[in-house]
Amino acid sequence: MSDISTKPDNSHTIAELIRSQLNRFSPAEIKIVNHLLANYPMAGMVSITELSENCGVSTPTVMRTLKKIGYSSFTTFQKELKDELQQTLSDPITKHDKWAADAPESHVLNRVADTVTTNLRHSLNQVSHEQFDAIIDLLAEQDKALHIVGGRITSAFARYMNTHLEVIRENVYIFPEAVALWPHHLLKIKPNDVLIVFDVRRYEQDLITISRLANARGAKIILFTDQWLSPIASEAIHTLPIRIEGKSGWDSGVVTLFFAEAIVVALEEKLWTQTAERMRELEDMFDLTERFKKRIE
Amino acid sequence: MSDISTKPDNSHTIAELIRSQLNRFSPAEIKIVNHLLANYPMAGMVSITELSENCGVSTPTVMRTLKKIGYSSFTTFQKELKDELQQTLSDPITKHDKWAADAPESHVLNRVADTVTTNLRHSLNQVSHEQFDAIIDLLAEQDKALHIVGGRITSAFARYMNTHLEVIRENVYIFPEAVALWPHHLLKIKPNDVLIVFDVRRYEQDLITISRLANARGAKIILFTDQWLSPIASEAIHTLPIRIEGKSGWDSGVVTLFFAEAIVVALEEKLWTQTAERMRELEDMFDLTERFKKRIE
DNA sequence: TTTTTTATGTAATGTACATTACAAACCTAT
DNA sequence: ATAGGTTTGTAATGTACATTACATAAAAAA
């Protein structure tokens, strides 16, 4: 009876642990373990009362069975079951152990990879597909100009996005680098134009100001920001809250770029026929300039 | 289920239901929904007490939030969550894309996410830790200047890297945007200086030329390129072959930025005492220019 | 049979929990 | 400022639960 201590924990899952002891059980106990295994693991994710009812036995029988299996109480059993489930469910995206296997977790590359994929997963959960699609729809309206601006760090993303979007559609403008020229550029913004703003902490006053002004001119703002939300969020029609934090202290820009790229890809697909044409033209121009260069050399 | 408020139940998963209302929430409520989505679905599989603690709010706030979302009580919420989990688990095929990446595999966001993580995994396998560490060691020598240059698309990464590395160490220079000025910049390069080059397809003649010339001047080249290797690889002392391809045809820059960032992080850690000092100085200067808002957390 | 052992259930108990009522704190606008 | 609303937390309450103690039934051994 009271062999609480005998838990041959060489097994990975709780199911294995149970299966390894299948011959030790009395009739009522068999009812329980059968039910647990047959509806694994969710059968265990209920109250002990419910579980006992589902098995047609009493609650103390459940208790005794679990103790026999190797758990000190129903609560700890359920806790371990929950952990196992957690483990199984966590990031279908990262396939974490793939690279964790052949490399020490402690190497920078792996730590950064871990952080980035975690950030990515979290961020994907924050952004609804509807919202994303709405952004794409908005960007597909080419009669409205599209302006892009970023901050100290994020201006690199603004440029990346600009370079790609310029190929895909017309009427794309990036703010000049010099903040002093921003008010000047503001003049180009017409009502219902779209303004893409990148603003992650530390939030920059210039970006906030320019967003307010653009908003006052009737621009629709799409905001790339972090999980703490730039104050610009209140001006924006669409806000992408992107997880940028690494536990280690540094802020990551990778996921921000991911979303920028996702928008590029989505828009390219939506406007493909037109984009294909523009790309061909671009290729031609590359060829011409190459030939041009060669001639001088 | 006699719901108290308006529950627009055209949504399939609870996650979607929450996401469809993301703008309706107050600060404390945002904490809760963020946590629920970020750790979906297991975050909801605990007692309301535990959940409230995990979110840093009180239990009544959790109750109110769930009612706002559309559930009459915490218990019914958890029950539905459990059912959903049950449902998903019993269908092992759809299992993976259901949550986190949630929704049809065909949505752009999921496809891009899939591509990026695949590229990341492959790239990590291509780069040995030894090589990576050697690069970091090389970059840690600050008596040698560090120059950075990128191409049409990748100049954004060059800038991103430059912005960060400038903070970490001295003697960091980025090439000017105008290609016409590159030869000019070349004069600054001294023997044993380091040159970081970004060159992914289509490989650019200007980059190749400048690399040759830099090499001739005795510079050590670190090359960010793609799996097909830019011709510059033959000039480079370290080459990072990064998988950039999406099946869908477009080339992704996310993993390239990942490696750029990983280098930044690694170097920052290696030179931390010095970096910390430089960062403090930078902070002071920010304060002086009053360009940045106080950090909001 | 009677006794002992094993198996299972009933009922009692204390704890953790979900829920509600209320009050404090915090905005926002006049 | 101050009145209105909103947002959030504290504390109280009743319920569901896990757990234990005890009792009964069944089976095995004597």
B66 and B126 both lie in a single domain: no
- Full DSSP string of B54-99: HHTS-HHHHHHHHHHHT-S-HHHHHHHHHHHHHHHHH-TTTHHHHT
The alpha carbons of chain B give a radius of gyration, in whole angstroms, of 25
Highest averaged pLDDT of the listed ranges A99-113, B100-114, B240-254: B240-254
B264 and B174 both lie in a single domain: yes
> What is the amino acid identity at position B272?
W
Nucleotides of D under 7 A from a protein CB: 6-11, 16-22
Q: Å from B38 to nearest chain A CA?
A: 5
A169 and A34 both lie in a single domain: no
Residue A113, in any domain of the structure: no
Contact B100 A91 (CB under 8 A): yes
Which of A109, A156, A286 comes nearest B129 by C-beta?
A109
From the CA of B90, how many Å to the C1' of C8? 32
Instruction: Flag whether pLDDT at A102 surpasses 60.
Output: no
Instruction: Flag whether pLDDT at A79 surpasses 50.
Output: yes
- Of B51, B68, B98, which residue sits at a domain end? B98
Closest CA to A155 of A190, A188, A179: A179
Which residue has better confidence, B216 or B125?
B216
Residue A256, in any domain of the structure: yes
**Digit-coded pLDDT (tens) for A257-293:** 999 999 999 999 899 888 888 888 887 887 777 655 5
A134 and A227 both lie in a single domain: yes
- Of B44, B76, B98, which residue sits at a domain end? B98
**Digit-coded pLDDT (tens) for B254-296:** 999 999 999 999 999 899 888 888 888 887 777 666 544 443 3
Residue B269, in any domain of the structure: yes
Interface list for A 60-89 with B (CB within 8 A): 82, 85-86, 89
Lowest mean pLDDT of A34-43, A52-61, A279-288, B281-290, name the range.
B281-290
B258 and B143 both lie in a single domain: yes
Number of structural domains chain A divides into = 2
B163/A contact by beta carbon, under 8 A? yes
B76 and B156 both lie in a single domain: no
Q: Å from A146 to nearest chain B CA?
A: 19
Interface list for B 23-52 with A (CB within 8 A): 34, 37-38, 40-42, 45-46
B52 and B141 both lie in a single domain: no
> What is the amino acid identity at position A230?
S
Please check whether strand C approaches the CB of B56 to within 7 Å: no
B86 and B208 both lie in a single domain: no
B79 and B144 both lie in a single domain: no
CA A187 to chain centre: 36
Q: What does the mean pLDDT of chain A come to?
A: 81
Instruction: Flag whether pLDDT at A219 surpasses 80.
Output: yes
- CATH number of the domain that B68 lies in? 1.10.10.10
- Of A27, A58, A89, which residue sits at a domain end? A89
B34 and B116 both lie in a single domain: no
A18 and A137 both lie in a single domain: no
- CATH number of the domain that A213 lies in? 3.40.50.10490
Question: Which residue range is the domain that position B35 belongs to?
Answer: 14-98
Q: What is the DSSP letter of B201?
A: S
A171 in Cβ contact with A219 (< 8 Å)? no
Between CA A207 and CA B48 the distance in angstroms is 40
**Which nucleotide is at minimal CA–C1' distance from A26?**
C7
